[in-house]
Structure 1
């Protein structure tokens, strides 16, 4: 339904759009409206505003909305015992246009409102509109003018991409607005995607190839625009738009393949070791933040301009509540790369979708061992630096641990081997990427231990549940040991797009064109990087906590805690008890597609009822995206786009299954405060029916 002259949007004054600048000196200027207007009539002002666009994207990772709107309520993550954003996972009636507050049933004041993404992205759009309008007038140098325009078109396209992906049709404002505007025509979703694609196309045309204007690893380039143009074209051609997109599909998929190929050729090959993408983060602006594979990142460092209100808080969201496990054997602190806020608990699917033996990504992503930095009980043989928490990620058909008793240690003076002792662990010397002595010899008692399966049943959620499990293997892609305080901002960049996804986007386009052989080639490029290389120690683990080695706080007791907490080991051999210790290469390459898929994929396909060639291929791509991109801030969008959100959430996320509703939860609610502020052309308020027509279905 298209509504004319009935709706509006709060846009922002010139002063408002300027204060989002990421340049500290610029923020310190005396920002009167007159001064700001004059400054934007100069090349220097437009260049400064262009730089500020990089500040707009940091917002995405500054608070609870980072995971609430992107990861919750999907097949990959569910909530643990912390209920801050529970409604985004359970789809209950608190997920609505008003937003959740303690008064409306939220657990605390930190719950994410649908209005937060909406409001913030229009700030960036306002800045982009100003650049697009003024750059041709005030910038005479063609290179700098095109550079500013490329950035403005890209940021506007990106923000409208995020808005349209989340809310469906949204207000399109493509010219600077004076003050507050409150009546607009609501476009259709088709018109919104046309605007997104148009902006990305213009950015793609204007960028100077792979020229890192503002610093490698941060600067958007032609490949960045190509990647997101391909994603936007694929989105328009996907299932969520099937009511109107039939005339676009063929051309969109072919164009997406073309621009994806540019990005792959310009920025390839993939980084050889998956660890280098996230785990080997050694500190501020380190080498892995400059990798060619990274196409877009939210830039953070030790400068105060990247900290504060929208500093990087993502290290909080993926760890279990390790410090509260019985006995308190592992104390939290800056020496461990992440805080234990237990927001994002992996589902059974997120473990089971991996090949536990041959896929190195599993063991380079999940943190399964914490060293004891606090000897909490006397009379046991645990010493500082011994394993304090161990999580065995076995498979459903493994019967090794059927008769073991796992769980959190409870003081018991009559302790015996059948009351919680983990008797299949022996700590060897500290692990390195190529050596170390971890085997499955018996002898080491571990105070807190977990296993995924016993007797063929998924039992992991039964450990430390109060009432929801807070004991799980978290992921390490955001860990940061450079923080200056336990709850201080992280200093590492947040990767927002990388080349491995470009391969999977292109593969999906080939699938939709029934070119399965071409799709398999792209998939195998990603899977070859994921397989173990000859000489790798499969017991080795590391994460960004290693940056603590270069942290000024790394002295005294803190230094001891760092050494004792981070053992550089995983539970590979405990989780795969039939595998002998080896440093041989493994293989993950497909030889047939979409038939004869790996066992872990066939299990998923059976659960979701994927039977046709197309459905098998599509769901395989969704599985591969999990293995490659787990936790990378886009799962809800991907499942909504492909029309698989409800099916996969119901299949794999027990907390979401009861509440998620088809034809409603594929879109987010439009913020009620926005709707209530709309006026008719004559200045009168909208009627109740007009307001209802603006809101998305079901809300």
Structure 2
């Protein structure tokens, strides 16, 4: 492509760049502008700059882009009634190079612009370039130099991974900019993946094993680099790049497999209980944030530096609008670990992909019960504080138990009436609260619940019909971001955001084995992940917990707030209501595959039949995509995974009815930001012609 020029600061290392001192905790970074760029000509300056790279990854979870560019427009999530980033889910004409504003049809001013990721990734790349250029001559201590270089290569490789995964070929700037750089070339996607892989290989070779070098917290190690090296190798040799990647495939699959093997051997077994990864988050820097399974996390705590512009906002995005459809019986507050911003609504596929009886991940992920926190008038059913207010029954298509029952959202007005009805076989006769060892859902038989939902009636998916707004706002949200440590209803969360963990590494290696035709080895890795997903002997299947538990040690947990916490968090799910006829049991379950990719579980066979997957490889890859949903639902990489594997268009069309305008040959890539293209100049400083600008843009935009 033609050489071009750009007036942009994104490739500059700016005076006043935020970095931190080498302290016991890499999160204790201080905003500091007292240093000039000359500081980066010292060993201390470069080490501080390498610590500051951890701040760049926090950006990914600080605003609406967290879900817009990663979760929307896939088979797993669609939009609810909030339409902030609707265009990223529907793929309508507002998803374009310019970005949507209220003037061009966006619901509000918070819509994610295509330049958000572009700009922020290049800020991190600029810092990494300075480290990589200067460290070999500035730092004489070999261990320190290797550590600093490993961080620089990892950040540059990771950021270019994100850019290339989203946009395809991008600008490769691998040396520090001197002043304002005005001459760039857009690299091909093949060149970009070569750069990503080279950087991550360098990081992998330079990291000193699993030594944590920057204090407490999940810091980048050799296993982190290995994990992302494997992802980059798989991306280069996956279906999106089939037009040019044939020469790489076998070698890439084998290298990716070996990289995964290092991470798996270095970090050991998966943490035994899926709840420990997300649900048992009990407060800032709790032990569960230090699990060996976690390979990379965006670090957050109570320090001011991890709030505000780079704060954790993810608790806003996965919960339904419970304060509305519950008719006011459930109020928002810090005691509930989420805000009901109703951004990400699970699709029918995201419920149906689980084995509802035997897969514990389903019941440790979806929140299906909220307790009454506020009494309303009139109250003809004598609803009491702490009664179930919102009850979501996640039954299956074959279940006919609830065909004749009336469900729905509560209506609160002067002529209020019960539209939800009384729930059948609602638990046992005991009035005791749920405990980790009690049997079934323990509350009153036939108890009234102000708002209730069921997935299927008469074999039809009816869940979207139970709503209080034009688009469904009533659904079972996921709990992986809930945070009861907030000091205000809308204040930032304090929990880390997991960006990579060992269970995904197993699934990546399984994919490598499948692509190499080694299906027995692939099945063995999948079964490791599924073994952790099984109910263990003695587990109470109707017990539920989430990050709201952090409120127990929150200083706000006094007086009315403490009472509301007890009322809101009933520690129960709807396992037995959702699986009618399932006897109360604390026996272990079994999810182990005995053949692969033939004779898969019924829930997978149903999905593969819809997709039309028939060859062994197609069945294997789509099964692994299903397993990734069950294990990694809501963990911010679904769009990239589907785009990589060439399944984005088919699976999204099949399972996301709102994605009406998704188009093959266009939406596998994101639009190059128009702000970037408009800043480009020719060699003679003239503006680009319309034809030149079009040549810079991805197809279809």
TM-score (norm 2): 0.96
Residue 605 of structure 1 contacts residue 619 of structure 1 at CA under 8 Å; is this kept in 2?
Answer: yes
Distance in 2 between residues matched to 1:642 and 1:684, nearest whole Å: 40
Q: What corresponds to 2:17 in structure 1?
A: 19
Residue 369 of structure 2 contacts residue 390 of structure 2 at CA under 8 Å; is this kept in 1?
Answer: yes
Structure 2 counterpart of 1:535, from 527, 535, 538? 538
Q: 1:102 to 1:167 in 2, by over 3 A?
A: same
Residue 282 of structure 2 contacts residue 550 of structure 2 at CA under 8 Å; is this kept in 1?
Answer: yes
Q: What corresponds to 1:620 in structure 2?
A: 623
Q: 1:513 to 1:440 in 2, by over 3 A?
A: farther
Q: What corresponds to 1:666 in structure 2?
A: 668
SS in structure 2 at match of 1:297: strand
Q: What corresponds to 1:380 in structure 2?
A: 381
Distance in 2 between residues matched to 1:601 and 1:203, nearest whole Å: 38
> 1:411-426 residue pairs with structure 2 within 5 A?
420-426=421-427
Residue 74 of structure 1 contacts residue 89 of structure 1 at CA under 8 Å; is this kept in 2?
Answer: yes
> 1:399-418 residue pairs with structure 2 within 5 A?
399-410=400-411
Distance in 2 between residues matched to 1:253 and 1:335, nearest whole Å: 47
**Cα deviation per residue 1:246-295 (whole Å; 9 max; x = unaligned)?**
00000000000011000000002000000000000000000000000000
Please state how far the C-alpha of 1:641 moved relative to its aligned partner.
0.2
**Cα deviation per residue 1:153-211 (whole Å; 9 max; x = unaligned)?**
00000000000000000000000002322321211100000000000000000000000
Residue 166 of structure 2 contacts residue 640 of structure 2 at CA under 8 Å; is this kept in 1?
Answer: yes
> 1:313-392 residue pairs with structure 2 within 5 A?
313-377=313-377, 378-392=379-393
> 1:124-143 residue pairs with structure 2 within 5 A?
124-143=124-143
The answer to whether structure 1 residue 557 and structure 2 residue 555 are counterparts is no
Distance in 2 between residues matched to 1:589 and 1:653, nearest whole Å: 29
Distance in 2 between residues matched to 1:199 and 1:525, nearest whole Å: 30
Distance in 2 between residues matched to 1:660 and 1:312, nearest whole Å: 30
Q: What corresponds to 2:60 in structure 1?
A: 60
Distance in 2 between residues matched to 1:466 and 1:417, nearest whole Å: 18
Please state how far the C-alpha of 1:381 moved relative to its aligned partner.
2.6
SS in structure 2 at match of 1:16: coil
The answer to whether structure 1 residue 4 and structure 2 residue 16 are counterparts is no
**Cα deviation per residue 1:524-564 (whole Å; 9 max; x = unaligned)?**
00000000000000000000000000100000100000000
Structure 2 counterpart of 1:433, from 433, 436, 448? 436
Distance in 2 between residues matched to 1:176 and 1:29, nearest whole Å: 21
Distance in 2 between residues matched to 1:419 and 1:12, nearest whole Å: 54
TM-score (norm 1): 0.97
The answer to whether structure 1 residue 214 and structure 2 residue 217 are counterparts is no
Residue 169 of structure 2 contacts residue 189 of structure 2 at CA under 8 Å; is this kept in 1?
Answer: yes
Q: 1:294 to 1:326 in 2, by over 3 A?
A: closer
Q: CA RMSD of the aligned region, Å? A: 1.7
Q: What corresponds to 2:24 in structure 1?
A: none
Distance in 1 between residues matched to 2:15 and 2:168, nearest whole Å: 24
SS in structure 2 at match of 1:195: helix
**Cα deviation per residue 1:216-239 (whole Å; 9 max; x = unaligned)?**
542100000000000000001100
Distance in 1 between residues matched to 2:20 and 2:476, nearest whole Å: 35
Residue 20 of structure 1 contacts residue 56 of structure 1 at CA under 8 Å; is this kept in 2?
Answer: no
> 1:285-300 residue pairs with structure 2 within 5 A?
285-300=285-300
**Cα deviation per residue 1:457-492 (whole Å; 9 max; x = unaligned)?**
000000015211000000000000000000000000
Please state how far the C-alpha of 1:682 moved relative to its aligned partner.
1.9
Please state how far the C-alpha of 1:136 moved relative to its aligned partner.
1.2
Q: What corresponds to 1:592 in structure 2?
A: 595
Distance in 2 between residues matched to 1:545 and 1:516, nearest whole Å: 41
Residue 283 of structure 2 contacts residue 550 of structure 2 at CA under 8 Å; is this kept in 1?
Answer: yes
Where in structure 1 are there 5+ consecutive unaligned residues? none
Structure 2 counterpart of 1:511, from 514, 523, 532? 514
Structure 2 counterpart of 1:678, from 677, 680, 685? 680
Residue 22 of structure 1 contacts residue 55 of structure 1 at CA under 8 Å; is this kept in 2?
Answer: no
Q: 1:423 to 1:252 in 2, by over 3 A?
A: same
Q: What corresponds to 1:454 in structure 2?
A: 457
Please state how far the C-alpha of 1:428 moved relative to its aligned partner.
4.0
Q: What corresponds to 2:474 in structure 1?
A: 471
> 1:472-487 residue pairs with structure 2 within 5 A?
472-487=475-490
Residue 423 of structure 1 contacts residue 445 of structure 1 at CA under 8 Å; is this kept in 2?
Answer: no
Count of aligned residue pairs for this structure pair = 693
Distance in 2 between residues matched to 1:25 and 1:354, nearest whole Å: 41
Distance in 2 between residues matched to 1:437 and 1:616, nearest whole Å: 37
SS in structure 1 at match of 2:658: helix
The answer to whether structure 1 residue 629 and structure 2 residue 627 are counterparts is no
SS in structure 1 at match of 2:183: strand
Distance in 1 between residues matched to 2:419 and 2:116, nearest whole Å: 51
Q: 1:44 to 1:333 in 2, by over 3 A?
A: same
Distance in 2 between residues matched to 1:431 and 1:640, nearest whole Å: 42
Q: What corresponds to 1:257 in structure 2?
A: 257
Q: What corresponds to 1:606 in structure 2?
A: 609
Residue 390 of structure 1 contacts residue 449 of structure 1 at CA under 8 Å; is this kept in 2?
Answer: yes
Please state how far the C-alpha of 1:681 moved relative to its aligned partner.
1.7
SS in structure 2 at match of 1:423: coil
Distance in 2 between residues matched to 1:414 and 1:420, nearest whole Å: 16
Distance in 1 between residues matched to 2:398 and 2:15, nearest whole Å: 57
SS in structure 2 at match of 1:5: coil
Distance in 2 between residues matched to 1:9 and 1:188, nearest whole Å: 22
Distance in 2 between residues matched to 1:597 and 1:94, nearest whole Å: 40
Where in structure 2 are there 5+ consecutive unaligned residues? 22-26
Q: 1:26 to 1:558 in 2, by over 3 A?
A: closer
Q: What corresponds to 1:110 in structure 2?
A: 110
Of 319-328 and 628-637, more deviation after overlay is shown by 319-328
Distance in 1 between residues matched to 2:364 and 2:503, nearest whole Å: 16
SS in structure 1 at match of 2:41: coil
Residue 482 of structure 1 contacts residue 491 of structure 1 at CA under 8 Å; is this kept in 2?
Answer: yes
Q: What corresponds to 1:169 in structure 2?
A: 169
Distance in 1 between residues matched to 2:567 and 2:168, nearest whole Å: 49
Distance in 2 between residues matched to 1:136 and 1:248, nearest whole Å: 31
Residue 212 of structure 2 contacts residue 219 of structure 2 at CA under 8 Å; is this kept in 1?
Answer: yes
SS in structure 2 at match of 1:4: coil
Of 235-244 and 461-470, more deviation after overlay is shown by 461-470
Q: What corresponds to 2:551 in structure 1?
A: 548
The answer to whether structure 1 residue 49 and structure 2 residue 49 are counterparts is yes
Q: What corresponds to 1:688 in structure 2?
A: 690
Residue 11 of structure 1 contacts residue 177 of structure 1 at CA under 8 Å; is this kept in 2?
Answer: no
Q: 1:89 to 1:552 in 2, by over 3 A?
A: same
Please state how far the C-alpha of 1:14 moved relative to its aligned partner.
5.7
Distance in 2 between residues matched to 1:304 and 1:415, nearest whole Å: 45
Q: 1:526 to 1:326 in 2, by over 3 A?
A: closer
